[in-house]
Amino acid sequence: MVYTVDRVAQAADILLNRWPAVTDKKHVAARKACLGVLEGLKETCDARKAFVEAAKEADILVERDPFG
């Protein structure tokens, strides 16, 4: 399954309910970052960076082709 993630709430849902890989430190950090944004404690860019890092570590990140 491939998801296009456009919102922090969607990223949090994927991290909490749909994550296909084993939970690791970057996954937990991404969950905390997304929840922090939803609580107004963190910036959106922090959550995006953490989500991308967790997806890379889990080897599940699919980069969007800007020309496709």
Q: Is residue 64 part of a domain?
A: no
User: For residue 67, is it within any domain?
Assistant: no
Is 23 a domain residue? yes
> How far is the C-alpha of 46 from the C-alpha of 40, rounded, in Å?
12
Q: Tally the domains of the chain.
A: 1
Residue 63 belongs to some domain of the structure? no
Q: Which domain holds residue 23?
A: 8-57
Tens of pLDDT along 19-57?
987 789 999 999 999 999 999 999 999 999 999 999 999
pTM of the model: 0.88
